[in-house]
């Protein structure tokens, strides 16, 4: 038996950020992950303004800025014609850009920063169950050689992703639904007229859309609301290399509570939603920072009361963005396009839209 103040289950971006924020406040932490190594996949590709603010105190923002690409313009096209360019730099904020960076790189930066603080991720270590003793948690885990380990901690943070063992063991419902359609994504090097410095959303009169974001100087991430992302690329595009390709389903789910006894949830363990708006990982960073702050202040009682409504609101925003983008022919689509061609172009309107896209919340 060993003792530590907080056990973080899951070393994805959210668990790593939580561990860093706890360590920064001198709270002893152990962090375990069932995986042999961190992800090689690009997955979430945008760090937003709010995350950059939150992660500044730990020095992470500076490191992420050094690794990523700053994006200040987002173009919206409709059936091959550009409707609107959103000028993110109109937001009155020093981080008035989206920081594009593959999740694999974000996790590398976080894990290295955590190691410098003396905490190493315990890999191939799977949380299998736990008991809440009232004054703490007794957690069971399997270690690399398959042996069982038992660990006593004060607090358990489940940052163990959408199929969270912690959430399931607590019996917390993950309420919501999954959209039927299959989405696809690809990371590609491409020869096309849109360059490698701006975000592009390609809407079509038929409904399906394509979204692209640069993730390196020679690479973009393309996401489509169809199962054939490469087939959705605009005419005249020539794909040079496909670095990664995958399909996925969009779900909209939220845990009914983020805490029970001495166990808490953060990140995808607590909420999943559409990639519209690039909020997934960023909302998780916010959970992680709030958890650590409350842990240090002894105010974890109020964690769900703070985080659940924020999660609910952001799930609502992403769902609304998703629905607006996928409108099929009809009056609503015409109104959307008209607004984009006219009102949304005005600098004064752009100054109001930009903070929303950047996730500036407070």
- List residues binding ligand FAD (CB under 6 A): 9-15, 32-35, 43-45, 103, 126-127, 159-161, 165, 246, 248, 267-268, 275, 278-281, 284
CB of residue 325 to ligand FAD, shortest distance in Å: 14
- Least Å distance, CB 248 to ligand FAD, is 5
If the CB atoms of residues 165 and 304 are measured against ligand FAD, the closer one turns out to be 165
Minimal CA–CA distance to 67: which of 110, 31, 24, 38? 110
- Annotate 132-148 with three-state secondary structure: ECCCCEEEEEECCCCCE
Interatomic CA distance for residues 220 and 202, integer angstroms:
14
- Closest contact distance (angstroms) between CB of 45 and ligand FAD is 5
Nearer to ligand FAD, 279 or 336 (CB): 279
Q: How far is the CB of 158 from ligand FAD (least distance, A)?
A: 8
Closest CB to ligand FAD among 78 and 291?
Answer: 291
Cβ contact 209:226 at 8 Å: no
* Smaller CB separation from ligand FAD, 51 or 337: 51
Contact between 230 and 242 (Cβ < 8 Å): yes
Q: Taking phi first (over 0 means left), then psi (-120 to 50 degrees means alpha), and beta for anything else, what does residue 69 get?
A: beta
CA distance 229 to 213: 13
Nearer to ligand FAD (CB atom), residue 9 or residue 289: 9
- Give least dist CB 104 to ligand FAD, A: 10
From the list 276, 303, 280, the residue with the least C-alpha distance to 290 is: 303
- Of 21 and 268, nearer to ligand FAD (C-beta) is 268
The closest of 4, 176, 115, 91 to 359, measured between CA atoms, is 91
Cα separation, 235 vs 104, in Å, equals 30
Nearest approach, Cβ of residue 259 and ligand FAD (Å): 16
């Amino acid at each position: 038996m060993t003792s530590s103040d907080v056990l973080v289950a899951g070393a994805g971006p959210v668990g790593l950020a939580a561990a860093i924020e706890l360590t920064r406040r001198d709270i002893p932490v152990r962090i375990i992950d069932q995986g042999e190594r961190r992800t090689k996949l690009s997955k979430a590709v945008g760090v937003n303004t709010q995350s950059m603010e939150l992660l500044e105190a730990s020095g992470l923002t500076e490191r992420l800025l050094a690794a990523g690409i700053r994006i200040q313009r987002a173009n919206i096209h409709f059936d091959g014609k550009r409707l609107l360019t959103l000028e993110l730099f109109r937001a009155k904020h020093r981080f008035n850009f989206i920081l594009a960076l593959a999740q694999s790189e974000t996790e590398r930066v976080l894990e290295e920063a955590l190691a410098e603080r003396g905490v190493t991720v315990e890999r191939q270590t799977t949380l299998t169950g736990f008991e809440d003793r009232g004054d703490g948690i007794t957690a069971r885990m399997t270690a690399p050689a398959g042996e069982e380990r038992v660990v006593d901690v004060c607090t358990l943070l489940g940052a163990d992703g959408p199929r969270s063992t912690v959430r399931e063991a607590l019996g917390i419902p993950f309420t919501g639904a999954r959209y039927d359609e299959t989405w696809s994504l690809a990371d590609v090097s491409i020869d096309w007229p849109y360059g490698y410095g701006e975000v592009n959303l390609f809407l079509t009169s038929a409904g399906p859309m394509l979204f692209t974001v640069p993730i390196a100087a020679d690479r973009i991430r393309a996401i489509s609301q169809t199962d054939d992302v490469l087939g959705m690329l605009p005419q005249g595009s020539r794909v040079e290399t496909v670095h990664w390709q995958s399909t996925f389903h969009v779900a909209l789910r939220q845990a009914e509570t983020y805490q029970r006894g001495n166990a808490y949830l953060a990140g995808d363990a607590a909420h999943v939603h559409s990639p519209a708006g690039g909020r997934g990982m960023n909302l998780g960073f916010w959970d992680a920072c709030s958890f650590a702050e409350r842990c240090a202040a002894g105010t974890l009682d109020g964690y769900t009361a703070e985080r659940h409504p924020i999660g609910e609101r952001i799930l609502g925003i992403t769902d609304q963005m998703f629905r607006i983008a996928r409108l099929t022919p009809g009056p609503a689509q015409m109104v959307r396009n008209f607004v984009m061609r006219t009102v949304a172009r005005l600098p004064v309107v752009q100054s109001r839209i930009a903070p929303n896209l950047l996730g500036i919340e407070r």
